[in-house]
Amino acid sequence: MAISADYPRPISVNGFVCRNCDDVSDARKFIDPAAPKGAAAVTSPDDSAVIFGGSLAPPQAVARAIPAPPTRPLLDRYA
């Protein structure tokens, strides 16, 4: 005899559709229960709908946006 652990109707927790207690546990931590369990849910800044710039930009984006100044040899004008 198989015992079903799924809810008779899906419920919504933090905007995620949950079908059992494990889904509810993940949804309370703001983890999408429908996402594959083995996959890492890392998103890059390029995937977002809004990209912040200036002082709100992430440190990596600021480092890429500002090119390094060209290096010049130091000259001694008083020599």
**Nearby residues of 62 by Cβ (< 8 Å), 6 or more positions away:** none
How does pLDDT run across 18-65, given as a tens digit for each residue?
999 888 998 999 888 888 876 555 445 456 677 777 777 766 654 555
Residue 32: half-sphere exposure toward Cβ, Cα within 13 Å: 8
The pTM score is: 0.43
Query: What was the pLDDT predicted at 6?
Result: 80
Grade residue 66 by pLDDT with cuts at 50, 70 and 90: low
**Nearby residues of 19 by Cβ (< 8 Å), 6 or more positions away:** 6, 7, 10, 33
C-alpha dihedral (15, 18, 22, 25), degrees to nearest 10:
20
Average of pLDDT values for 61-78?
65
Query: What was the pLDDT predicted at 53?
Result: 74
Placement of tokens 């890429």 in the chain: 64
